[in-house]
Amino acid sequence: MTKRRTIYFILALVIVFAGYLLFKPSMWQDRLESYLNNQLNENGWNIEISKFSGHLFSTLYSDNVSLKHKNGASIFLPSISTKIKIAPLLFSRVEIEELSVSNVAIQPYFKPGDDSASINSIEFSPEKIPLSIQNIYVDGHVFIPINDSTRSVHFLIDGQVNEGQDAMEINLREFEFFCAVPRIDIAMKNIRGQLSSHGVEVEVKNAIMNGFHVDGKFSFDRGETSEMEAQLNLSEYEIPSQIFSKLPLQPNLSKISATFNFKSDFTHFIGDLFVRNELGLDMGGHFNLTKYPDYFRLESMELAGKDGSLNMQGVVEKKGRFNGTIQLRTLDLSQWMINQPKTNLSGYVLAEGEILESQITALDINAEINESLLFNRESSSFSGGISYKDYKLSITNPITMTIGPSIVSIHGEANFETKNMDLNLLLTDASTFLINNFWTDSLSSGLATGSMALRGPFDTLGIDANLKITNFRYKNVSLSSFEFLGNLDNVNKFRDGSIKLKFGKGSWNDYGFENGTGEFQIIQDQIEISSFELKNGQDFLQFNGSIRNDSILFLDRFQIAYEGHFMGNPRPLTITLLDDRFSFDPFEIHVDDGIIEGFVKTNPFQGRLKFSNVSAELIKLANWDFGYDFSGTVFGEVSLGQDLNPDDFSLDITLKNGELASQSFDEFYISSLYREGILHLEELTLTEGDKTGLQVMGTFPIFADSTQPIPVDFQSSFKNIDMKILTQFAPKWEHLLFGNLTGNYNMGGTTQNTRFDLNGKVENAFYGKIPLGTVRGTGQYSNKKLEFSQFSSTWNKNHITGSAILPIDYDMASPNLNDWDPGGELYVTTEGSLHSVVFLSEYLAEIDSIVGDINMTLDIEGPPENLIRNGHITIENGYIYTVLMDEPIRHISANANLIYNQLSIQTFSAVLYDTQTKIDSSRNLTISGGLDFTKFFEPRFNIHALGNDVFFRSLTGDIEGYGDLDVTVVGKDTLEINGTIAAKNGAVYMEFMGTESVESAEAKGRTMTNYNIRFPIEDTFSIRNSQIDATISGELAISKQFGGDWDYSGEIEFIEGEIYFYVGDVFENLQGVMTLDGQGFNPFLELTASTKIGDAEIILGVFGPFDNPEWRFDSNKGYTESDILQLLTFNTRVVEDGFTSEGLGTQAQTILGAYLERQLERNFIQATGLKSAGLIEGVEISGDLLNPDAGEEFSISARVNKNFSFSYRRSFSLVGAYKKKVGVEYKLNPNFSVIGNVDEAGNIHMKFRVRRTY
């Protein structure tokens, strides 16, 4: 077995060695060349190969391989590497598996007589090339004769080539093609297609052609007439900026993507084009391009999108000249250009120019375009013509821009090489946008009319202007009109020229003026202010002077008159204004009858101001806010930044005959020095006659340092001083404590451990709304406790005494300054005899006052956020007056204990009776329950009131009567009053008011009260008003919720009574039911009543809401409703007695008189209709007053209210001028009206109108 393996191994080695020797290149050199020539000769090619190296089993190498065609074409391969398939070679055929060639030189064949290359002159038959190569890599050059020279075209092929019967099939990974002139740079990847002598079909997945990203399909048919067809996609194409590099304005165009579908015979290019980008551009259309020997002609290119369209036509010559037209319809440039606002352009553009070496070197444009979006949706337009060549821009046709009513016309020229400009502008109501394009700054608003010329070099541009601007706004300046006449030789540096200004009514900051003028001369860097003046009634500002280039302002003369005050300078002023500082050289200014003199400068801040007889109102006029008002006449001196310390200052000021924080004075004097954060108050005194005085002196820090203690030494005394002077420095008490203080206040210690003591009295004292009268006390503060050893309050018959310890932090360096000390506890003990419990009645909206003989004690202790109150109160002979009842609660005797904030009523008895009867009832009202005083001024109620035969009369008098009371009052911010009042004997006098709400008469306070009270009628009770007088039974409920109006509900049965008909008839035997719906006081009636007229008994039935019920009439005589209405109106029937003008006139007067009298008694406002927005609504006027010959009548009619109307009619014709008539209509009910009028002869005419529904 081992021997056999050995034999096999040796045999294999022999075969391998023999195969290696047999397939050495030297063995096949001649055969390979012969085989290839046999294959190539069929197509006219011949190959010459130098010596092979390598091996057929691997890779063959050779140098200097050349192929020649019998027509003269040649291919030279300087070096190749290839793999050849062994099996086909054994059958005398060469098939190449891999081929790699570099630096190939190809010289194609051209037909004799052609001196230049064309696409049809190149003989190229790929289908005749017998090549099938799985992996081919070839790069090199194709040499093409062009005229008298030869151009080299570089190429690279990497991929697969297969021999086909009719075409060569290609599947390339990569293909490159480059030509320098004309520049053709193509790099493709993933190409599939077919090549033949008849044409080309190629599909490209990824290609870059001259920098364009392209993909798509391409086909070329090389027949008698060559044709090309393509479907190409162009991605992210950016128009080269070099094209516009020689133009003064260079558009910032967006990248676009495009799709081309076209066919061409190399003369005509026709197809479709679609463009899009990231800015929202999405347009499509078709194009038609024709090639001529010397130029290309764009027959048309139409693009349309969702809202706009673009149509182009033109010619481009090979020499570079071009011209064309562009038509726009609602085009949005923001979709084409970056950072461009939305537009809506419609119009045309005519363009002509020259483009050389991919640059536009000359351009002529004429355009007329309308726009409607760019300027706040105002319509605008642009028209005119420009020419640009050799860096010179000329306006060949005046450019006119309009925005709404604004018009700007421009003509002139500009040279961008010499950088010179000569432009003339005419403006008519030019808007802010247009003005700012020619202005170095920006106006907020304005409309300019006039002319402007810009001339000279760009960097030293001169301007001549004559403008009037209305509605002028610039920064904080506002003017109704502004006129500018002037010239400047250098507007950029504002030099050399003159300016005249005229102002209309306007304002600067908060100051207004009626008109003004100004005149300035600019000479190099200096501005001479010839005059400047503003006027506002009696107020004015005038000055003149100069401003130098070193920012020094010289005011030779200035005068200000403002709100009755005058200010002026007797000698020139010098003011230096720099970026980091300013200075006011020593000056003297006269203010009214006073003088201010001194100097001021900054960085560092220093100054001295001396005042003599200067009104303090000057501070108010300057709008300086010191946190409180003061007035008077100022004398003295202020020094700032002493010893070069900008924070130090000293005061030596006297104010005379003025007021400080509501405190008037004859003299107020302060002498102090502020240095290093400490105020040294040498003296501060305030006096008013001999009744009021204030004196303060001492040393204390303005800004306390919590890291180190600073001594405090402060003494003060007060005499009848308004406490607002003090409380303005303590925000916690500023809006709570009021009065006039007399006493002493002294402070010592340090900022970390401050001490003070006070002793005095406050007269006419108030705590919020609560009057305290005269308050006396002695207190001292230390260790975060303010202790009052004793205090008292006396007001009218109220006297309270007590003591207190308050845990308030007044240490000046404490972060908790002016607030409660955390962890501290409050202790207050009070007792007093009072006549009025003002501290409760002031905070209860329904309570007017609580008075009586009141004794109380109150102790308060605990943390401020959780105080515990204990005490006791007794009331004898007390009274409670409310805004709801006409009679007070009398003879109160009460006793209550306050324990842990809970007030428990031990006893409470009182009397409610009618004083008009002069009968004093026995005690008939008791109250039990209590109040929660956890928040003392916001107590929570839980009270139960019981009463027997108590009397109630509302403050408006619309309800009164006796009843039994069972009512509870519960709540705090919102009180709920619920219960029952059993009505025994009384009456309701309210008028029936329709659906309008019954307005509440109570005052508005902190608390809100809701009512829900039932009134069951147990005895005699009546409704009495101008409509009904009846005895009733049933139940009535009243309610009011959350500050709304009173609502009434329930069902009332009419036992007996009367109802009044509109014209004065009284219907008796009233019976039925009245239902109140809970919306105001609006009864729904179901009633019957009767009356007698002669021997006829008229029966009335009323059903529905009272303001518009349904009336039904019947009688024992069988009369119809029409007959009954006649009887009720005229006390007779027309068919029986007939009408007479005299009788009807009398009856009409009676009817209408009775109606008006009753209506005026009920409600004057409602009867006259004055409650509406005007005196009379619904006035109608008709007729012709201006044409007497027309025979027209003039009439006017008006509805005074819903039941009463008035009319007047007169004829103004020449033949009927005497005709005039005055009339009224009174609507008795929805179905029956009485109409009366008086004619020109004084005759009265009466009739009635009956509306019947069938």
- Maximum pairwise Cα distance, the chain: 167
Q: What is the mean pLDDT of each run of 10 residues along the chain (1254 residues)?
A: 68 62 65 72 78 74 82 83 74 75 83 51 60 83 77 86 78 84 80 81 82 82 79 79 69 83 87 87 90 90 88 90 91 83 88 84 89 75 88 88 84 88 88 62 77 87 88 85 88 83 86 89 85 89 83 85 86 81 86 89 84 82 61 89 73 88 86 86 88 86 78 89 78 80 91 90 86 91 91 90 91 85 91 82 68 91 91 91 81 92 92 76 86 83 90 76 88 86 82 53 59 84 82 86 82 86 72 86 84 83 80 82 72 47 42 46 40 42 48 60 65 50 65 66 62 40
Return all residues near 72 (Cβ < 8 A) that are at least 6 apart.
109
CA distance linking residue 658 with residue 219, whole number of Å:
102
> Which residue, among 803, 802, 881, 776, has the nearest Cα to 837 in the 3D structure?
881
Task: Measure CA 1116 to chain center.
Answer: 75
**Residues facing 979 on adjacent strands:** 967, 1013
> What letter would DSSP give residue 1138?
-
CA distance linking residue 386 with residue 871, whole number of Å:
98
CA distance linking residue 88 with residue 37, whole number of Å:
15
**Residues facing 933 on adjacent strands:** none
Please, where are the H alpha helices in 477-567?
none
What three-state secondary structure class fits 1045?
coil
Helix (H) / strand (E) element for 1121: namely helix 1121-1130
For the stretch 168-207, what's the b/e string if a residue is b when 16 or more beta carbons lie within 10 angstroms of its beta carbon? bbbebeebbbebeeeeeebebbbbbbbbbeebbbbebeeb
Please, where are the H alpha helices in 798-925?
838-841
> What letter would DSSP give residue 116?
B
Return all residues near 917 (Cβ < 8 A) that are at least 6 apart.
none
Residue 425 in contact with residue 438, Cβ under 8 Å? Answer: yes
Task: Measure CA 596 to chain center.
Answer: 46
CA distance linking residue 162 with residue 126, whole number of Å:
10
Residue 236 in contact with residue 218, Cβ under 8 Å? Answer: no
> What letter would DSSP give residue 20?
H
> Which residue, among 487, 539, 531, has the nearest Cα to 515 in the 3D structure?
539
CA distance linking residue 673 with residue 784, whole number of Å:
29
Q: What is the CA radius of gyration of the chain?
A: 55
Q: What type of residue is 1027?
A: Q
Q: Which pLDDT does position 998 carry in this prediction?
A: 45
Q: Which pLDDT does position 77 carry in this prediction?
A: 84
At 1185, list the tokens: 């007053």
| Model pTM score | 0.52
> Which residue, among 1247, 1241, 1203, has the nearest Cα to 1222 in the 3D structure?
1241
Long-range CB pairs of 250-253 (<8 Å, 24+ gap) are 251/337, 252/337, 252/338, 252/339, 252/340, 253/336, 253/337, 253/338
Preceding peptide of 108 cis, ω within 30°:
no
CA distance linking residue 1123 with residue 1140, whole number of Å:
18
Return all residues near 910 (Cβ < 8 A) that are at least 6 apart.
878, 880, 889, 890, 891, 892, 893, 923, 925, 926, 927
CA distance linking residue 1128 with residue 1125, whole number of Å:
5
> Which residue, among 920, 903, 905, 910, has the nearest Cα to 882 in the 3D structure?
910
Q: Which pLDDT does position 1141 carry in this prediction?
A: 36
**Residues facing 481 on adjacent strands:** 470
Distinct helix (H) and strand (E) counts, the chain: 11, 76
Strands, DSSP E only, in 723-784?
Answer: 737-749, 754-767, 770-782
Q: Angle at the Cα of 137 (from 131 to 138), degrees rounded to 5?
A: 85
Please, where are the H alpha helices in 353-457?
432-436
CA distance linking residue 664 with residue 695, whole number of Å:
15
> Which residue, among 802, 811, 924, has the nearest Cα to 858 in the 3D structure?
802
CA distance linking residue 885 with residue 709, whole number of Å:
63
At 325, list the tokens: 């037209």
> Which residue, among 741, 775, 769, has the nearest Cα to 663 in the 3D structure?
741
Residue 1000 in contact with residue 845, Cβ under 8 Å? Answer: no
Crossing angle of the two packed helices 1141-1162 and 1121-1130, in degrees rounded to 10: 80
Q: What type of residue is 1167?
A: A
Q: Which pLDDT does position 83 carry in this prediction?
A: 79
